[in-house]
């Protein structure tokens, strides 16, 4: 008996030591410093056509305003798109906020916003996910999809054309799980996708939007947050795990499988017109993280293109269950 207790004691001791070692390792080994990430050669323009294209991207397709809008409107998830993008909404991510705390930045051209940032610095955080300090911006790296030089130019041109508003926002703070994730998490350095212009109707435009600026692929494909958000399952086969509904903690929400699998695909039986009408209806599930307010403003051609592209994705048999359900 005494001997068994001694062995148990040493085992517990070993586990504690290994745990402490892991904590120390993460604290020392994680990094968010990527100052040598190149600044894309993008220059803002001042012509009305480019600025108008930027407005469509910021509010609708790339849905920047659904994160950078005024914090009080964000909480209600009722966005008035004519409000200045002053930021201020804070996300406490992960169980007990252990991934960290992230506050949306002021995107108006005031010195407390993007006023002091160069076009290259703006382009770098949008394209590569590296901020003006040369540090990884995890939220930007995950939430914003890859986009063409043309679209990046249009977004920056629109931002530069807005009225400045003073509003200083804090930088993020990583929690312990955020540091574990940072061990494997890098800026995105892939070459940018080729531009497929608005007005084009078809699979190529849909693919560009879904894998690019609209970032559908990010939420609707399984990914492992601890392995640097690496893809962990078939393209568009649904989110890895359900997340607690922030507006009603007795239920959870999961992004469905959008592949054309006849049994487990969420869109089985949806016609193109049903798909377009669903987007026009906007938010149905209050606590959903999908930026329905922005997507509801997409042009009919873009919505039809998205539907046509999703029909061409390889069908993946993956049952994620009902999108909203009790926990």
The footprint of ligand HEC (CB under 6 A) covers 62-64, 67-68, 102, 104-105, 107, 114, 122, 125-126, 131-132, 137, 139-140, 143-144, 155, 171-172, 210, 214-216, 218-220, 253, 255-256, 258, 266, 278, 284-285, 288-290, 295, 306, 323
Six token digits for residue 113: 């916003």
List helix spans (H) across 30-118.
48-56, 65-68, 71-76
CB of residue 29 vs ligand HEC: minimum separation in angstroms?
21
> Among residues 174 and 180, whose Cβ is nearest to ligand HEC?
174
CB of residue 226 vs ligand HEC: minimum separation in angstroms?
19
List helix spans (H) across the chain.
2-29, 48-56, 65-68, 71-76, 119-127, 138-143, 149-160, 176-182, 203-211, 216-220, 272-281, 292-295, 300-310
CA distance 65 to 74: 9
Compute the chain's Rg from CA coordinates: 22
CA distance 227 to 107: 30
> Among residues 5 and 163, whose Cβ is nearest to ligand HEC?
163
> Among residues 51 and 155, whose Cβ is nearest to ligand HEC?
155
HSE, side-chain direction, 13 A CA sphere, residue 323: 17
> Among residues 180 and 306, whose Cβ is nearest to ligand HEC?
306
Six token digits for residue 34: 């990527």
> Among residues 157 and 323, whose Cβ is nearest to ligand HEC?
323
CA distance 239 to 232: 10
> Among residues 167 and 214, whose Cβ is nearest to ligand HEC?
214
> Among residues 180 and 218, whose Cβ is nearest to ligand HEC?
218
**Beta bridge partners of residue 179, listed in sequence order:** none
CB of residue 16 vs ligand HEC: minimum separation in angstroms?
34
Six token digits for residue 29: 């080994």
Q: What are phi and psi of 20, to 5 degrees?
A: -65, -40
Q: Report which DSSP code applies to 135.
A: B
CB of residue 168 vs ligand HEC: minimum separation in angstroms?
11
CB of residue 274 vs ligand HEC: minimum separation in angstroms?
10
């Amino acid at each position: 008996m005494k001997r068994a207790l001694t062995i148990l004691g040493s085992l517990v001791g070993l586990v504690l030591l290994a745990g402490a070692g892991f904590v120390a390792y993460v604290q020392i080994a994680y990094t968010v410093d990527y100052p040598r990430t190149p600044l894309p050669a993008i220059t803002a323009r001042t012509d009305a056509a480019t600025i108008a294209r930027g407005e469509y991207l910021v509010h609708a397709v790339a849905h920047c305003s659904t994160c950078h809008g005024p914090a009080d409107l964000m909480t209600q998830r009722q966005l008035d798109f004519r409000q200045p993008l002053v930021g201020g909404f804070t996300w406490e991510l992960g169980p007990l906020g252990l991934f960290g705390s992230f506050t949306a930045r002021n995107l108006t051209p005031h010195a407390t916003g993007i006023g002091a940032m160069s076009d290259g610095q703006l382009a770098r955080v949008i394209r590569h996910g590296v901020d003006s300090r040369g540090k990884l911006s995890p939220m930007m790296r995950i939430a914003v999809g890859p986009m063409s030089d043309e679209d990046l130019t249009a977004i920056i041109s629109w931002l530069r054309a807005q009225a400045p508003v003073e509003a200083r926002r804090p930088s993020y703070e990583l929690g312990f799980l955020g540091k574990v994730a940072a061990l494997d998490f890098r800026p995105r350095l892939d070459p940018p996708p080729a531009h497929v212009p608005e007005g084009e109707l078809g699979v190529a435009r849909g693919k560009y939007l879904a894998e690019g600026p609209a970032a559908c692929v990010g939420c609707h494909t399984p990914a492992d947050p601890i392995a640097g958000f690496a893809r962990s399952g078939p393209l568009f086969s649904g989110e890895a795990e359900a997340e607690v509904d922030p507006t009603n903690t007795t239920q959870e929400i999961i992004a469905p499988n959008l592949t054309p699998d006849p049994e487990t695909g969420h869109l089985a039986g949806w016609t193109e017109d049903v798909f377009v009408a669903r987007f026009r209806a906007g938010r149905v599930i209050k606590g959903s993280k999908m930026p329905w307010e922005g997507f509801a403003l997409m042009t009919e051609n873009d919505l039809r293109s998205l539907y046509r592209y999703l029909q061409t994705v390889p069908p993946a048999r993956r049952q994620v269950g009902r999108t909203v359900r009790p926990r």
